[in-house]
Amino acid sequence: MLHNLGDRFWIKNAHIPFCLLENISIEPQTREQLCHVDLEINQNKIINIIPHTSKLPEYPYIDVKKGIIFPCFLDSHTHLDKGHIWERSPNLSGTFKEALNTVKKDAQNNWKSDDIHRRMEFGLQCSYAQGTIAIRTHLDAFGEQAKMSFDIFKQLKDKWQNKLTLQAVSLVSLDYFLSQEGEKLADLVAEYGQILGGVAYMNPEIDQQLDRVFILAKERDLDLDFHADETKDSDSICLKKIAQTAIKHQFENKIACGHCCSLAQQSEQLVQETIKLVKEANINVISLPLCNLYLQDRTPKQTPKWRGVTDVHALKKQGIPVIFASDNCRDPFYGFGNHDGLEILKESVRICHLDTPYDNWVTAVNKIPAQLMKLPNLGIIGIGVNADLVIFKARYFSELFARPQSDRQVMRQGKLIDTTLPDYSQLDELIFPYQR
């Protein structure tokens, strides 16, 4: 176990991925592009990064024995308002349709202010303890639910501001924005200074819906964040239409598109056409491998034939920013999950074949989402940056991804934090009210 050593100290003998070192000219020492370095910390910030030396410094130091160090994680696509309802509202078929219906019923029966607040905060506690520093959550936002959920979000954002940076995205189907209520929602999102978003699905009015969303966002100077093509249907081309609409409106703010599963089922010609437009429109693609592996190609008592994820390799090859995020957690859309940035990366590596070589895929859970979320000083390790670090005993990627790394240590502003996860029993009175 490491210990806090005061304001000025060294972290010695560390392995850091070259792609995460910002403006540091140190050569990698391993085939996995890991740099063997020492870091000097003073007054909460990294003030020096040098090639590892056996020379002992004049200040106290920690020897991490070639352990890998990451900057803290950024989780850019979550659903904290749905989280941790599995036990009271399970999805027993595991299908997308039942997930939608089960969540809708749970919201009607249980989504009061205290219920949402406590479950969202439980998710934040899990994220913080495991090394996450910023989270973007989608919030169901039809009707009166919008004001309630954004109010709760604001309370948690203020309460956790010294630990986590929180962002919120409205979540409705895009047809909602053709109504007066949809315009009111856009005003509400602008009032809270957050991101306008919704679910894009193929329908006769999709072009009209997208036009309206982009107009509302431009009028209010808002970023956009879509759920798109969360389906195996190769005829679902919402990602392509979003890109075309962004180009048409000369949209300059940030755009994210999550899921984009159907891209992996389409012809090579359509994929290349879509990617060309996505690049021109400056869209970030967020892949959610855990949830998509769980829901896509799901037929009860049949073996799935594909992994559900978008074509991340083709996207990255053409310079599209690709991000991995956690999505749902212990709710009808995904019965598992633990708000853990390392789990997201590890399972993405396995599901999407991101090894041999690892290249700079590790940036998809820190540096790249930081750029999307307009948090440029997060997700990197560099001189002058806060010492917000996740320290693992694992020395190489094969070791890092082989075990859960439950013994990781998390440093925030140069101080080690308590990494104890909250106990599930904290939610018992919400999940099992009949036992009271």
- Phi/psi zone of residue 412: left (φ > 0), alpha (ψ -120 to 50 degrees), beta? beta
Listed in sequence order, the residues at least 6 apart from 142 whose beta carbon sits closer than 8 Å to its beta carbon are: 172, 176
Of 22, 40, 121, 230, the catalytic one is 230
Q: Give the ranges where 268-385 is alpha helix by DSSP (H).
A: 268-280, 289-295, 312-317, 341-352, 367-372
Residue 128's Cα: distance from chain center in Å?
13
- In whole angstroms, give the CA distance from residue 74 to residue 132: 6
User: Cα–Cα distances in Å, from 144 out to 127, 157, 220?
Assistant: 28, 20, 21
Cβ contact 378:32 at 8 Å = no
224 forms beta bridges with 196, 255
Q: What is the longest distance spanned by two Cα atoms in the chain?
A: 70
Q: Is 230 a catalytic residue?
A: yes
Judged on CB neighbours under 10 Å (0-12, 13-18, 19+), 43 is exposed
Cβ contact 410:419 at 8 Å = yes
Residue located via tokens 């090859």: 317
Judged on CB neighbours under 10 Å (0-12, 13-18, 19+), 47 is middle
Catalytic residues: 230
